[in-house]
Structure 1
Amino acid sequence: MAAPELEISKIGQIAINVQDVDRAVAFYRDVLELPFLFRFGGLAFLQCGQVRLLLEQPPNGQEELRNSILYYQVADIQQAYATLQERGVDFIDEPHMIAKMPDHDLWMVFFHDSEGNTVALMCEVRQ
């Protein structure tokens, strides 16, 4: 039986590794004039058109990540996870809720692409 269509609709979020989150927020918000959305722990989120930017500092003692992480938005994260598992994708974790927002729950799952880069699927489940 063929796997169902994946239906990736857009890039929903891009993570940018920074040395200082506060300094980076000031740059992206004040210099580039991107709308600031919110902070969640040590993470900061801004909007760039239809794409959300995540500014994060790698945890102490960990090697800085070399790439940005593309977050592909899907309508059904469980279905997309199952489809990609059938296609042999190397998942780092299972779909899980990252945060409860006022109008939706944010779900993500992370995997490696063919070159070993970390990539993610994200899904905003409306309440």
Structure 2
Amino acid sequence: MNATPALGRIAQIALSVRDMDRAVAFWRDTVGLTFLFQAPNVAFFDVAGVRLMLGESETPGVDPAGTVIYFDVADIDASFAALRSRGVAVRAQGEPHFIAPLGGKDLWMAFLADPDGNTFALVSEVPAGSKPH
């Protein structure tokens, strides 16, 4: 019988982009992630100890799709408002909204998009029955 692998925390997430300079500017300047370094066709950011790697598509003309990054935030309304004020695109029905009860807490999310159409979300857990601040 094979043992179950002991997976640890996620070390890195890769996100495909079409325009590296535009993507770096968005994640660094608009969203405010900590830029680490850039090499040919890739760029790296630190997100609370997890690396976000941006990589230009190896297949020209193929749009990136399918990856959603969820960012934990303490104040979903303030974080959402700040990103929206910086021109970040909001997905349809993407404003902060209740998702599900989590045993004493409520899960709230908001959905946005980067310039390549990749979805990213803000996630906040608040005391059950209360609205986020």
TM-score, length basis structure 2 = 0.47
Bigger CA radius of gyration:
2
